[in-house]
Structure 1
């Protein structure tokens, strides 16, 4: 069963405990390594290219799955994202993390895909974005079932709040980079995440309330 701990903030504050600080430090170190790989790949290091792609492939899949709403398009959009990124590496200077830079490319790839799809008639309704995200989730890991339950709750959120929550709480992007990616102030991202978390907690509480009919039948 999903627990409120899954909805706890992931950004450091003065009151953050040591475990959260350690996790943030590890994420920052991982981002530094990934950015270093991107810069090395820009210089022609083939091993660095492989490390860069492997490190961010799942994050790209999860993000485009959240945005595009079509489970059949996730792999193609992820591949398109990396093709665009590798073709643009010569312009990457490391001013932001490679993760944020790549997710911004993923966002443009999805937008371009939507524009292309809008130019042709649709034969059926677009599948739920949630299915695509679930297929992009790692299986066999602790908390996987909880993660799927969280995705069920996320489906009820407004798009902007869901995106802010996914970027900062599921993909671990710093608030400043999430704001840059979403083209809005940092305060707006913080507000969206806070409201998303509050809504999720309310939905979680409702989901855990016993069904009166079931309780009556068991009495």
Structure 2
């Protein structure tokens, strides 16, 4: 395991996503040591680490498991899970490693569940600050004078899946097939792209 973590660290230092994925082959998606390494690297600004972290959180099922403990509707669980990944991507810079990654993620899921239940109970539209990340992004895109202006600022890697999901309404599986990417990769890239839109759209290469 130490050798795999070492190989992962070297790949992340080089920004090599392919080699990083190879280093993680055979390692359970729930492995806390790997999640911790990815989260700390992502907090330092590694986009490869952020994408891999989102992929492994999705593949492990931990986010859905946390959401399912509070919700029963599959659609609501899907929404909360995606909102959680968006929140992880946008707030990863605040992770300091003081707790397990799964503990940190669980707190985010809990907040997103509260947001979801609040929206369900509401009888009037919520102000923008009270909306969950994906709802804020949808609102931003819908009210911008030019949709292209918002999307043009996204790198191609994230723009394509975001357009297919949020504008064309395609299911994740079809997007993965169209783009010839894994389902986990597509979900993480959509979450990352939405987070970039919500934070003002910065080119991840500038942060590398």
What TM-score range do you get, normalising by the shorter chain?
0.3 to 0.5
Alignment TM-score, normalising by the size of structure 2 = 0.42
Which protein shows a greater Rg?
Answer: 1
**TM, length-normalised to structure 1:** 0.40
